[in-house]
Structure 1
Amino acid sequence: MASKILSPFVGPLTPSAIEEWLGQCEDGFTIYATTKNEKTPALTVEIQVRLTGTQLQEPSAAAWWSAGRKEFLKLESWAAFEKQIKARFMPKGYKLIALRTFFLCSQGRLPFLEYASILTEARNITGSTAITPTIYKYQLLFHPSDSPPSHHGLAGFQHRCYFC
């Protein structure tokens, strides 16, 4: 039954992966509730928690679920279980950590796609209100490395920087 409602969580244990999967769980419960017929039983909080817990297939998350299953099944809401998951697997202040990562990240010797992936991950964690599309583009385009841009390869280009 779980595989028809929720997809398994196999990792990675990153804030964005956990947030995405928890959102998929909520969507799965909503879709189930709106498409079930009269004979199909409703999902109680205990069933929602059990379905969510059994789909935690990443090894350390699965061990955490197994160790605390009895206590988790006593929770009064699925949101309380979601809060437990976040408290266990998402570091305190993870949004500030992601924001710091975003603004301190530079490409250096990383391949461009890896650099862009790090920025995207940080932006996804903090949300588009903290890092607007414009700020994201500026960081991506104008902060690829710690050294000032080199214009030696551009014929006829005269670099006039009043701040360098």
Structure 2
Amino acid sequence: MSSKLDLPTLTSITSTDVLLWLTRCADSFEAWSALNGDKTIKPETQILVAGLKMEHAEASAWWNENRETLKKIVLWDDFAAKVKDRFVPSNWRLDALAAFYAVKHAAGVDFQTYVSDLQKARNALVSAGTGYTISDSIVKNHVLFGAHPILSLRVRGTSSFSTLYGTMKLDALINLMATTWASLIAENIVRISTTHTTGQSRPTPTAHNSSTQSTASTASSSSARYPLPDLSYAEKEALRASGGCFHCRKTPSSPNWKQHNARNCPGDSAAGIAPRATRPLLPHQVAGIIVGDVEIPETPGAFVIDGPDSSDSDYDSDHDFD
């Protein structure tokens, strides 16, 4: 009896997620063959099953529009190349490298989440080739020095740590830091946010910070009015580095890109992202403002000024420094 072929779903079309999805699909085909007496799945079937797993709105639309052509492809690698051409920018290696080095252990985020984000960013570079591969020693240094400063200092101050660090394995360091992190939490020296334990998206400051409630409220309000999940720190840095838009998440290398930023984003109807709206202002908010040589009088009615609202700092790469 053959075992079931279970492919991962594609629910995000960031370069990292698309590349990881393609890799996991290929591994799933290999695992299925190993579990079924070295039987193989025809490439045409591999492509069809993978296409049905493309559940992100834009990816699903692309598959539906091109399914007849894509199903005629006779090699999985050729299909993977088509997916990369459509969803992975030509400079994805540099973007993925920037995303790796941008991962930091933000305040309010659990240590294991930080490590998971780092490993995910590293995995995106597995197929990047010479010059982009991240070794264990590089990851080890990043885990130690990119961690919460109190955690990093506590571990580095451990007896004989400096002597052992040179030959210490990555997993051993992670285990040591995880244990130390648990101790810091138990001692109430650091605290993690209960609303941000699954990723670095919008890390809520620790309870020692008096702005915790207002920050959490802002994050909740933002998620209620915006269709996409919040960007992680690494994703923001990658977008910032590529000159992309924090609102629609596109970059200059995306199809049909038009120069813009989050303040004047035209949106993306395929992904359900509305264009940025103008903001009405009441007379008392603009009275006395001089435009050119003319001063706006205090007259009834509302004025519309094209520009940022209070949420611009959430998406504008010029102003977002969370």
Q: Which interval holds the TM-score relative to the shorter structure?
A: 0.5 to 0.7
The change in CA–CA distance for 1:97 and 1:145 in structure 2 (over 3 A counts) is farther
- Aligned pairs for 1:53-132 (under 5 A) are 53-107=51-105, 109=107, 111-113=109-111, 114-127=113-126, 130-132=133-135
Residue type of the alignment partner of 1:35: N
- For 1:24, the aligned partner's letter is R
Q: In 2 relative to 1, CA 109–33 (structure 1 residues): closer, same or farther, beyond 3 Å? A: closer
Specify the alignment match of 1:13 in structure 2.
Answer: 13
**Distance in structure 1 (CA, Å) of the matches to 2:126 and 2:76:** 23
Superposed displacement of residue 66, structure 1: 0.3
The size of the alignment, in residue pairs, is: 145
Cα offset, 1:87, TM superposition:
2.0
Cα contact 1:9–1:55 (8 A) shared by 2: yes
* Contact kept? 1:8, 1:57, Cα under 8 Å: no
One-letter code of the match for 1:134? Answer: S
CA distance change for structure 1 residues 112 and 60 in 2, over 3 Å: closer, same or farther?
A: same
Deviation at 1:91, TM superposition (A): 2.7
Compare relative contact order (CA 8 Å, sep 6+) and give the higher one, 1 or 2.
1
Structure 1 unaligned blocks of 5 or more: 155-164
**Structure 1 residues 72 and 130: alpha-carbon distance in aligned structure 2, compared to 1, 3 A threshold:** same
1:6, 1:51 within 8 Å by CA — same for their partners in 2? no
Note the C-alpha offset of 1:50.
1.5
Q: CA deviation at 1:108?
A: 5.3
Cα distance change of structure 1 residues 130 and 7 upon mapping to structure 2, 3 Å threshold: closer
Amino acid at match of 2:36: T
Q: 1:43: Cα distance to partner?
A: 4.0
**Corresponding residue number in structure 2 for 1:157:** none
Distance across 2 between alignment mates of 1:117 and 1:86: 24
The unaligned stretches of length 5 or more in structure 2 are 158-322
User: Distance in 2 between the 1:117 and 1:29 partners?
Assistant: 25
Give the distance between the partners of 1:85 and 1:60, measured in 2 at CA.
12
Q: Distance in 1 between matches of 2:63 and 2:43?
A: 16
SS at match of 1:92: coil
Percent identity of equivalent pairs: 28
Larger helix proportion, structure 1 or 2?
1
The equivalent of 1:45 in structure 2 is 43
In the TM superposition, 1:29-44 aligns within 5 A as 29-30=29-30, 31-32=32-33, 35=36, 43-44=41-42
SS of residue in 2 equivalent to 1:136: helix
Range with greater deviation from structure 2 (95-104 or 124-133): 124-133
Q: Is the 8 A contact 1:56 1:65 kept in 2?
A: yes
Structure 2 SS opposite 1:4: coil
CA RMSD of the aligned region, Å?
3.6
Change (3 A) 1:112 1:61: same
Deviation at 1:65, TM superposition (A): 0.5
Question: Which residue of structure 2 lines up, in the alignment, with residue 4 of structure 1?
Answer: 4
Partner-residue secondary structure (3-state), 1:9: coil
Change (3 A) 1:119 1:109: same
